[in-house]
Amino acid sequence: MANVWVTLDWAGRIGVAALFVKSGVNHIRKRKAMMAYVQSKHVPLAWLDVVGTGVMMLVGSALLVSNWHPHWGAALIILFLVPTAFLMHNYWKESDPMARANQDAHFWKNITIAFALVLYIVQGHLYR
């Protein structure tokens, strides 16, 4: 039975990391398009924000997958998700119903994943 839990642990860490590896790579490879979007939301230092958050996601994912300081990896991803939810997916500022629904979904996706990662960190500390 222990092998099942080890397998599920690996699958979970790889599954979570896959989303953020993809996003981190896109932040770096498509930084010009990402910077335009960040600037449209009036967030200062767009270049630094886009590249910096891309690096945060990649490093956080690497720490999660390698299981080397995975709680720090989760924390890096949380530090990306929460500000991004409020700065980039601020659905309450959208007047168009479709845009509002889209941003609402992204806002709550970010917040939910952040809290799931908080739970991961807490569980790791409770059951050492």
DSSP letter for 1, please: -
Q: Where are the beta strands (DSSP E) in 13-106?
A: none
- To the question of pTM greater than 0.85 for the whole model, the response is yes
Interval 46-74 mean pLDDT: 96
Query: pLDDT grade, residue 22 (50/70/90)?
Result: very high
Q: What Cα–Cα distance (Å) separates residue 100 from each residue in 40, 90, 105, 106, 109?
A: 15, 8, 9, 10, 14
Position with higher pLDDT, 2 vs 32: 32
SS3 (DSSP) at 45: coil
Distance, in Å, from the CA atom of 48 to the CA atom of 28, rounded to the nearest integer, reads: 11
